[in-house]
Amino acid sequence: MMDISVIIPSFNEKESLPELLAWIRKVMEENSFSYEIIVVDDGSTDGSWKAIEEQSAANPAVHGICFRRNYGKSAALFCGFKRAVGNVVFTMDADLQDSPEEIPEMYRMISEEGYDLVSGWKKQRFDNKLTKNLPSKLYNATARKITGIRLHDMNCGLKAYKNEVVKSIEVYGEMHRYVPYLAKNAGYTAIGEKEVHHQKRKYGKSKFGLERFVNGFLDLQSLWFLSTFGKKPMHFFGYSGILMFLLGFVMTVWILAAKLVAQSNGLKYRAVTDQPLFYLALLAIVAGILFFLAGFLGEMIARSSSERNSYNIRKEI
C-alpha cells in the first residue's frame, strides 16, 4: 500500500489544476512519499477534463474521475474515498487556497501521533469578512456545540484521514461539511487539528454562496437526529407524542373541571367549544397521536433496514 492518496474535487478549476498538481508532486518528491492523486471532475464545463488527461499523461500518479454532470462535493469525495489506496488519505480543494506544504506534518500526525483524522484550521483567512468569515465563525460555533468536536474550522477542505476512516463512512447529499462528525459517529474519536496556511483565490471565483450556511445547519440537524435516534426513532417520536398527548389531556381535564366548579357554584361559564384552550388541547392530543404513529412507522422502517445491525468493529481475537 502506498503512503498517501490525495483527493481533489474539482468544478470548473481548469486554470488552477496544473499548478496545484505540480505543487503536490514537488512536495511528495521532496519527502520521498509514494502517492496517488485522484482528481474528481464534478461535471465541469470549462475543459477541466482535458487538463486532467494531460496531467495524467505527464504524471502516472495522477488519476481522474469525470462525472457526467455536477453532483456536488460530497459525491466527489465519496467516489474518491472508494478508490483511495494510500495509508493516509488527504482531501483538498482545487482552487489553490489549500497549501500542499501542510501535507508532511499532517501525515506525521496521523502516522506517528495516532490521530484518526486531522482537520486544517484556516486561522487567518483572506475571504470576505462579511459574507464568509463572520457566518463561518457562527456556523463553526454551532457545529462545535452540537457535535461535541472541538474544531475551529469544521468545513476546511484540507483534511487527513487514516485509510480505514474513509472506508467506514458514507458521504452523501451535502454532508462533506461534517466528515469529522461522520467519523466520530463511526467510532473514530482521535480527531485533531492543525493550523494551516490559507491563500487568496488565484483564479476564478467561489462556487459556494451564503445559502450553504442555511443548508449546512439543516444537514447538521439531520446528522444529529440520525446519529442519536436513527436506530430508535420511537425514543424521539414516542416520547414527544406522549408529552403532547398528556399536555392535551391535562388541558382537557382543566377545562371540564372549571366548568363543573362553575356549575356547582351557580356561576356563569363559557361553553367548552367557545374556549381557545379547548382547541389547543384538541390540537395537542391529535399532534401527540401523530407523533406516536410517526415513531411506530419509523421503528418498522428501521427494523426492515439492511443497516440495522451494521456495526464498526475495531478489533477481534
Determine the average pLDDT of the residues in 193-220.
72
Sequence ranges of the domains in the chain: 4-229, 233-304
Asked if 254 and 277 count as a contact pair (C-beta separation under 8 A), the reply is: yes
pLDDT band at 86 (very low <50, low <70, confident <90, very high): very high
**pLDDT on residue 315:** 65
**pTM (2 d.p.):** 0.75
Task: Give exposure, 250-261, as e/b (b: 16+ Cβ within 10 Å).
Answer: ebbeebeebeee
CATH 3.90.226.10 fits domain 4-229 = no
Q: Is 32 left (phi over 0), alpha (psi -120 to 50) or beta?
A: left
Count the residues in the chain: 317
Question: In the predicted model, is pLDDT for residue 76 greater than 60?
Answer: yes
39-48, 109-118, 250-259: segment of lowest average pLDDT: 250-259
pLDDT, tens digit (0-9, with 9 covering 90-100), for 156-198: 889 999 999 999 988 887 788 889 988 998 889 999 999 998 7
Q: What is the mean pLDDT of the chain?
A: 85
3-state SS, residue 291: helix
112-129 confidence digits (pLDDT tens): 999 999 999 887 766 555
Are the CB atoms for 258 and 252 separated by under 8 Å? no
* CA distances for 103 relative to 51, 163, 190, 244, angstroms: 24, 15, 18, 53
